[in-house]
Amino acid sequence: MSYEQEEEDHYGPGYEVGSYTKDYNDGPYDGENDLNVNSNPEGKPRILLMGLRRSGKSSIQKVVFHKMSPNETLFLESTNKIVKDEISNSSFVQFQIWDFPGQVDFFDSNFDCEMIFGGCGALVFVIDAQDDYIDALMKLNLTVTRAYKVNPNIRFEVFIHKVDGLSDDHKIEAQRDIHQRANDELMEEGFDSVNLSFYLTSIYDHSSYKKNILQTFIIDSNEALDFKLVREPSDIESNETTFKPEMSHQIFGENESIFGYQNLTVSLYYTAGKLNTYLGMEYKAQVDPKQFEGAIADDVMGAITAKLPPGYMTNLDDFIASLNKEQGFKPPGELLSTYSINKGSAAERHFELYSCTIEETGFRSYHERLQTFLLWYVDAASFIDVDDDRWRFYLIFEKYPCDGGHRYAICGYATVYLYFAYPNKTRPRISQFLVLPPFQRLGLGSELLNVIYRTFLKDSNILDITVEDPSEEFSRLRDFVDAQNCKKLPSFSIEKLHQGFNAGMVEEAQRDLKINKKQARRIYEILRFQATNLANAEEYRAYRLDVKRRLNIPYQKEASDYKKLQKALNPEELRSTLSTSTREQRIESLDKQYQTLENEYRHILERLAAAK
């Protein structure tokens, strides 16, 4: 692997970056004086630079931080004492690099492992790839095991150095061999939890160093974001109330990353009921454009605030003060249903489900805050045009005890649009559906979907209920709920399921449950699979053939279209127009499709069994 590819790796927390250093302090090795614990009185982050003698440690430091010409490093003398470098060119970029001589002895009584490794953020070990690196690997193993025992949080970076003199094949082989030997030795000694990162490096292309350093300023935006639904001030300091986004590409791009910061935390907090919003960010270091050719940190706050409605807070004290307004909050709209879990126990919880329209007093501004969650949990999410009066809103709240009374916390919501269905019917379409992470796996999704269904079941003007671009997760929820409901219909009895899919099932599912024909067929297949004795070869085969006949319909249409084209086109035109599949390819494709479906159906049936 080339060092250009290795540039995608990066150092972890504790590796701070700068440019210019103070003068070196070369001199005879004196371990006792070098290990003065007071040499870092301000507690700056520390990076240890280690490796065998003449491995190139000092050359790396001179080229990267002193801008020394690579050719000038040929005249550098070997390091014979610990050299401590202060990197301090701005208020953000301050740290120390300790360059150790190759002959340092960990067993020397003057070597204080606790002091050296205990305050270290990263350890860089340099191996000369042009030399016999067996001794270097032994020293690497000794160094890593000693350091890890003292500080398990230390990051270990291995520079496979001087690769400019190697062929591409030799570089790849050297990295593979060093990587395997180093990790195998650690595993043999029981240090399999230690993580080593490897880099192919050369001072003759030291731009790679800057790129590797810049990698430390790239943050996973999903990890950087902390969400909270705050009920009381203590929730702000509690890790238990924090939850993460499932995605962030709709804010920070498809790579879901933020550039320009180290140890970044972005806090997006909402009061649990009213959804008053706080946005803040903290970081340990920010990239300096002067040192990295004009590289500028991303505008994190600007990217998020562009999606927030006016009124959000950036002062945490103001946000905490706004919690006092939660006591007077009541859910908007009409109460449709209540739902409880863990009844009769100390963990009993109560939920209420409401419906409303945009005309509900105060709901327009409330919805503006609520819909911002979609960007982090629903792919390809977009904000709806609430001025269209055909939108309906359904909300779930937890009703929880507080100060001798009750308060409400939002749990999730759904939107439904009432489409026209020719000639005089209405077809509701579920557009957005979200249960927030702290309330998932409590049965709230099923309850919300059933409440939506019940809203329309007795309305003869409703044709059926559809879903707009359902996610896999919602499809599984819908299958589960529809299967539960269809099992109660006479046309879906076990006896009739074995007789095959029929018009009676379509009619009853649409009339009683507002389920369309396509979904009714899918539920039939799920319930027939449940009713099939898989140990009975004939019964199981009959089920598979029944499903595959449906799956084969597109191929039958393809064959019909092919015959029509044969009459209209000459053979050459036909070949350039169509790419038909062989019988064997169709059979293979059908088998794969069937197996995928069966696996999906098994998951639904497992959930049905657990719900009994």
The residues assigned a catalytic role are 468
What's the burial of 125, exposed, middle or buried (CB within 10 Å: 0-12/13-18/19+)? buried
What are phi and psi for residue 10, nearest 5 degrees?
-155, 160
How far apart CA 495 and CA 490 sit, in angstroms, is 10
Residue 577: partners with Cβ closer than 8 Å, 6 or more residues away = 565, 569
Q: What would the two tokens of residue 432 be?
A: 């957005």
Query: Which letter, b or e, does each residue of 234-269 get, where b requires 16 or more Cβ atoms within 10 Å of its Cβ?
Result: ebbeeeebbbebebbbbbbeeebbbbbbbebebbbb
Residue 9: partners with Cβ closer than 8 Å, 6 or more residues away = 197, 198, 199, 212, 215
Size of the chain, expressed as the number of residues it contains: 612
CA distance to 37, 133, 209, 306, per residue, from 202 (Å): 33, 16, 9, 43
Q: Starting from the edge strand earliest in sequence, which strands make up the sheet with 122-128, in order?
A: 83-88, 94-99, 46-51, 122-128, 155-161, 196-200
Helix (H) / strand (E) element for 413: namely strand 405-421
CA distance to 208, 247, 358, per residue, from 89 (Å): 21, 36, 55
Helix (H) / strand (E) element for 89: namely none
Q: What is the 3-state secondary structure (H, E, C) of 554-608?
A: HHHHHHHHHHHHHHHCCHHHHHHHCCCCCHHHHHHHHHHHHHHHHHHHHHHHHHH
Own/partner contacts of 547-556, CB < 8 Å, gap of 24 or more, are 547/594, 547/597, 548/590, 548/594, 550/521, 550/525, 551/590, 551/593, 551/594, 551/597, 552/586, 552/590, 555/581, 555/586, 555/590
User: Which residue has tokens 């990197």?
Assistant: 87
How far apart CA 436 and CA 374 sit, in angstroms, is 10
How far apart CA 242 and CA 529 sit, in angstroms, is 41
How far apart CA 160 and CA 174 sit, in angstroms, is 8
Q: What would the two tokens of residue 579 be?
A: 């790419």
Give the residue among 176, 181, 183 at the shortest CA–CA distance from 145. 183
Are the beta carbons of 411 and 435 closer than 8 angstroms?
yes
Give the residue among 436, 443, 374, 444 at the shortest CA–CA distance from 241. 436
Residue 142: partners with Cβ closer than 8 Å, 6 or more residues away = 106
Q: What would the two tokens of residue 138 be?
A: 């032994």
Give the residue among 211, 201, 195 at the shortest CA–CA distance from 174. 201
Helices and strands (H and E) in the chain: how many: 22, 20
How many Cβ atoms from other residues are within 10 Å of residue 326's Cβ? 19
Give the residue among 395, 429, 399 at the shortest CA–CA distance from 412. 395
CA atoms within a 13 Å half-sphere pointing along the CA-CB vector of 319: 26
